[in-house]
Structure formats: structure tokens, C-alpha cells
Structure 1
Amino acid sequence: MAITLEQVNNSNYEAVCDLEVTDEQQHYVASNMWSLVESHYNQGYTCRAIYRDGELVGFFMWVLESPVKVSIWRFMVDKCYQQTGIGRAALALALREIKAAKQLKEIEICYHPHNPVVKDFYSSFGFQEVGLDEEGEDMLAIIKL
């Protein structure tokens, strides 16, 4: 299984928009279409399509919040490809790409605080919880570099 991260461009953006999560996950994940619109109209946004053996299976978006901080805002694997190791491989690739920024000191991600599977998943990559976000809805976790 070869997992790659590729640019979102005019040949794959529609397929990225068509990716879906399960019904239970829909209220946790913003639509990929909305994410692509955000990235188009804002500076510092990076979007990547996740491919498995050349087939589109997921989406990432991260934001350069400052020269020293990146926040992963979107990360999804299509419902047809979940629970197959794609997410773990894709996150490892994304973190490698993000960490290549020379001045970077911190990577942040947030998730629903009552989801123990996600907490364990992100902590296995070195993310440590630091508390709830400003709205008190999502757990913030960071990697200090």
C-alpha cells in the first residue's frame, strides 16, 4: 500500500469535494469544498489530497498560523477507506512535510474531547493535550519541536 500526499489542483479538486465521511462523523468535519474555498481566499493554507496506490482516498489542510506555528485544520479519510491504516500513514507524511519548515516550533491539532480513539491516535504521534479551545468545544493538542 503506497500512500502519497499530492497537491489539490484543477484535475482533482472535484473528486476531493466528493469524498465523504460516515454519517456519525459529519458534524466533526467541515466539508472539503468549504476547506478548498477557505484555502483559496486566505494566505498560508496548504491542502493535500491523500492517495492510496494512485486512488484518491482523503484530504488534509493545514494553516501556517505564524512563522513558528502550524495548525492542522482538516484531516479526513473517505468512509470507504477508513480503518485500513491510511490515516496513520497519511498523518506521518503530513507531519514530515510540516516539520520541514525551518522556523517551526509547534504543530497544533484539535478534536472532539469525548473521542478517546482520536486522542490515542494523535498522542501516538507525539501530540499532547493542552486544554479546550477558546469556545470550550474542542480539545487542543500540540507537538513542540
Structure 2
Amino acid sequence: MTNKRVEITELNAENWYECCSLEVEENQVSYIEPNAVSIAQSKFEPNLKPYSIRYDGETVGFLMFNSVKEELDGYWIYRIMVDKNHQQKGIGKIAAQLMIDEMKTKLNAKRIVVGYHPENTGAHQLYKRLGFVDNGDRFGKEMAVVLEV
């Protein structure tokens, strides 16, 4: 799927390594697994669907969602990250919306859930702008927010 300058594409032999080299800001490292770990996880959990985020043809981010329902009777977003050199450009919001659209189309998703560390203010603002609602659900150290689509 694409939105002019931002597109998401399924991870493949041509783009997986580029995703492995992407990094978040130092203060974000504790909030998200490295992309290489997420990619490996997707190879052992086939319901996980990894994608690269491209901006003007360059790989700048990574995202992954589950293709089966889990807790809270929803489809979960597992990862979304934008490289530190491309943050604050609106890429994450567009890519997240493209991912939501992909989940609605491919999975007929009616409820999408994402968990994140409560101190991750960037994630909090992103999901709030996309319409996710905090119903007080918590899973370990993470809070879970829900989008009804």
C-alpha cells in the first residue's frame, strides 16, 4: 500500500537487511526490540506479518502485525518504528494508517490493539492521533490501546 511518498511493503529478500540496519533514538531503545529480533520472530511465528516502511523509495522503518486475533479479541500491532534520521516527518503516522488499512483489507479487522511502554510518549501521541483508546488494559509493563474500525 502507498500514500504518495510513504509506502509499506511486505518484507522480502530485497529489503529485510535494510530494515536490520535501522535504529531509533538512544532514549527509545528500551521501548522496542531491534528489527533483526522482530524479523527472526516472524520466521518462527508465521502469523506475524513484517513490512518495511519506505519514504521516497528509501527504507526508513519497520512494522509488523499479527494476522490472527489475540487478547482483547483484536489483531495486534507488534512493531512500528521509524529510523532516527527520519523521525518527526509524519512518516510513522502515515505508515501506521497504511498498516491499519492493510489489516482491515486483508484480515477484515474490526478491532486493532497495540501495546507500548507507558513512558513512550511518542507512541502515546501517535496512537491517540490515530484514534486508539485507552480502556485501562495492561499486559505486564505495557499498556494496550484499542482502535475500533
Task: Determine if the TM-score, normalized by the shorter chain, exceeds 0.5.
Answer: yes
Corresponding residue number in structure 2 for 1:13: 16
Structure that is richer in helix per residue: 2
Q: Secondary structure at 1:100's aligned position in 2?
A: helix
The equivalent residue for 1:69 is 74
Please list, as runs of the form range in 1=range in 2, the aligned pairs for 1:1-145 lying within 5 A after superposition: 2-66=5-69, 69-101=74-106, 103-135=108-140, 137-145=141-149
Give the match's secondary structure for 2:31: coil
Aligned mates of 1:39, 1:115 — CA distance in 2 = 24
CA shift at 1:102, angstroms? 5.3
| Other structure's SS at 1:90 match | helix
Q: TM-score, normalised by structure 1?
A: 0.90
Paired positions, count: 144
Q: Decide whether the 8 Å contact of 1:17 with 1:33 is kept in 2.
A: yes
| Aligned CA-pair RMSD | 1.8
2:30 partner SS: coil
Instruction: Evaluate the alpha carbon distance shift between residue 103 and residue 56 of structure 1 in structure 2; reply closer, same or farther with a 3 A threshold.
Output: closer
How far, CA to CA, are the matches of 1:102 and 1:39 in structure 2?
Answer: 17
5+ residue gaps, structure 1: none
**In structure 1, how many angstroms separate the alpha carbons of the residues matched to 2:37 and 2:121?**
27
Give, in angstroms, the shift of residue 144 of structure 1. 1.8
TM-score (norm 2): 0.88
Distance 1:23-1:102 versus aligned 2 partners, 3 A rule? closer
Q: Is the 8 A contact 1:60 1:76 kept in 2?
A: yes
The letter of the residue matching 1:89 is I
Residues 10-37 of structure 1: CA deviation (Å, up to 9, x unaligned): 1111111010011111010101011011
Q: How far is 1:103 from its partner?
A: 4.3
Unaligned runs of 5+ in 2: none
Going from structure 1 to structure 2, the CA distance change for 1:117 and 1:13 (only over 3 Å counts) comes to closer
Distance 1:93 1:119 in 2: 18
**1:123 CA displacement:** 1.4
Farther-moved stretch of structure 1 (117-126 vs 40-49): 117-126
Identity over the aligned pairs, expressed in percent?
Answer: 31
